[in-house]
Homo-oligomer: A and B are copies of this chain.
Amino acid sequence: MFVPEGFLFSGISCGIKKEDKLDLGLIYSPEELTAWGVFTTNTVKAIPVLLGKRLIREKKIHGILANSGVANACTGEEGFKRALTILKEVAKYLKIPYKSLLPASTGVIGEQLPLEKILPNIPTLISNLSVQNYIQFAKAIMTTDTFPKIVSKKTEDGIVIFGVAKGAGMIAPNMATMLAFILTDAEVSKDYLKKSLPKMVEQSFNRITVDGDTSTNDTVYMLCSNLKKIKNWEKFESLCLEVAKELAYLIIKDGEGTSKVIKILIKGAKTKNEAKILATSVANSPLVKTAFYGGDPNWGRIFSALGKSGIKFNPQEIEIYLNGIPWVANFKSINNEAKIKEEMRKPEIELCIRLKQGKMSYEMLTTDLTEEYIRINAHYRT
């Protein structure tokens, strides 16, 4: 695993979650980092999102303090005070301004951060900081995730782009209960990040959906330690996007109770926005998702989901391909059903829908919908 220069990681258990699970994480750099963030569009914003949106405008950032178990959302003035108390305590030990730490939380909404559990453990959190402890950090931000999510790549110039994320449910375009942090040792300006990070998010994290539920806590931070000069910007940008896309893929792969990753590809739409609306409508349809779970080649549900979006098209002109195999054309199955069923059983599926209305396309990732999703979410908190 490539780790970018200038970053230290820590992850500990302080009892916010049950059963000694890791629940408090820190990414710290002695360097002054260039940083930017993209946040949830939910009207109900968690305290760390409200705080993070403010702090991200500071010139000098030194890291991210994240916790799982409690989202610190819908916690009011008291939630705000507690978040600040914790940031200040960590900053005191690190001898940095508290405003140079970016907060992130994920977990149950409406509960306060337990100061009595967190504050006494901060010395341990700090003494555990090391270059290697990124897995502990990744575990400390997990909720219903079943595995830590880390992706790392290196350019030919030796620049490392490292991403860590969490998310498995409440996942929808415009982000989700999703935290993703992208770290690099490249030298970039804040202005560059302000422009490039939203674009990167639009092409990665905003194109995944598990359940159409968008969270109060979604946050993507990008931090740069500025230790290495970028020679090939094109390569750097494409690797950053790859890291973001692979993290997004891992979130979908770990979608609550899911058994399949389904790429929805809309082609031949009139406009990009129409392609996006159609892709979203199919990706979020419970009837499409359960059909994929059951391996039932019931293509009528795909037509119905396209149509309920309200976008106008000629249904009879639609062609559907499954993993590249022609499936439906002119309202008819054009391949034998056994073959399509076999493809539907695979864990990775590409569903390509051609509309013949224009030239625009859009792709997004979704999952199937299973009994296990219900079990996880009916009993998550209790």
Is the Cβ of A331 less than 8 Å from the Cβ of B75? yes
Q: Are A374's CB and B374's CB within 8 A?
A: yes
Minimum distance in angstroms from A327 CB to a CB of chain B: 11
Q: Distance in Å from the Cβ of A176 to the closest Cβ of chain B?
A: 10
In the bound complex, residues from chain B placing their C-beta under 8 Å from that of A310 are 41, 43
Closest to A176 in B: B308
| B286 close to A211 (CB less than 8 A) | yes
- A216 contacts partner chain B, Cβ-Cβ < 8 Å: yes
Chain B residues with CB under 8 Å of A215's CB are 304
Residues from chain B with a CB closer than 8 A to the CB of A95 are: none
| Residue pair A315, B44 in contact (C-beta under 8 Å) | yes
Contact with B along A14-48 (1 / 0, CB 8 A): 00000000000000000000000000011111000
Docked CA distance A216–B315 (Å): 11
Within 8 A of B (CB), among A306-350: 306-313, 315-316, 328, 330-333
| Residues on B with beta carbons closer than 8 Å to the beta carbon of A170 | 287, 304
Query: Are A307 and B216 interface neighbours, CB within 8 A?
Result: yes
B379 touches A300 (CB 8 A): no
A112 nearest CB across to chain B (Å): 10
A120 to B206, CA, bound (A): 55
Q: Which residues of B contact A374 (CB under 8 A)?
A: 290, 293, 369-371, 373-374
> Is A184 interfacial (CB 8 A cutoff)?
no
Structural contact, A382 and B286, CB atoms closer than 8 A:
no
Q: Which of B44, B296, B304, B316 contacts A42 (CB 8 A)?
A: B304
Say yes or no for A381: interface residue by CB 8 A criterion: yes
> Interface code A202-226, partner B: CB below 8 Å = 1, 0 otherwise?
0000000001111110000000000
Is residue A291 contacting chain B, with contact meaning CB distance below 8 A?
A: yes
The complex places the Cα of A291 from the Cα of B109 at a distance, in Å, of: 13
- Are A287 and B377 in contact, with the CB atoms below 8 A? yes
- Residue on B nearest A169 in the bound complex, by CB: B287
Measured in the bound complex, the distance between the Cα atoms of B290 and A212 in whole Å is 14
Q: Which of A331, A333, A380 has the most chain B CB atoms inside 10 A of its CB?
A: A331
A228 adjacent to chain B (CB < 8 Å):
no
A380 and B301 CA atoms in complex are apart in Å by 12
Q: Report whether A211 and B371 are in contact in the complex, using a CB–CB cutoff of 8 Å.
A: no
Docked pose: A293 CA to B375 CA in angstroms: 10
Are A296 and B380 in contact, with the CB atoms below 8 A?
yes
Given known A-B contacts A74-B303, A371-B371, A296 and B378 have beta carbons under 8 A apart: yes
A158 within 8 A of B: no
Task: Indicate whether A265 reaches chain B with its CB closer than 8 angstroms.
Answer: no
CB distance from A98 to the nearest CB of B (A): 24
Asked whether, in the complex, the Cβ of A303 is within 8 Å of the Cβ of B212, the reply is no
Distance in angstroms between the alpha carbons of A211 and B311 in the assembled complex: 20
A43 contact from B73, B110, B299, B309, Cβ within 8 A: B309
A109: contacting residue among B110, B303, B371, B381, CB under 8 A? B303
- Give CA–CA (A286, B374) in the complex, Å: 9
CB-based nearest B residue for A213 = B287
Chain B residues within 8 Å of A172, by CB: 308
Would you give 15 A-B contacts (Cβ < 8 Å), ordered by A?
A: A43-B307, A71-B300, A74-B303, A74-B331, A109-B299, A110-B298, A110-B300, A170-B304, A213-B305, A216-B300, A290-B374, A294-B382, A296-B382, A298-B380, A370-B378
Q: A109-B299, A213-B285, A291-B377 are in contact. List 16 more A-B contacts (CB 8 A).
A: A41-B308, A74-B300, A74-B303, A74-B315, A75-B331, A110-B299, A110-B328, A110-B332, A213-B305, A215-B304, A216-B307, A290-B378, A296-B381, A370-B374, A370-B378, A373-B374
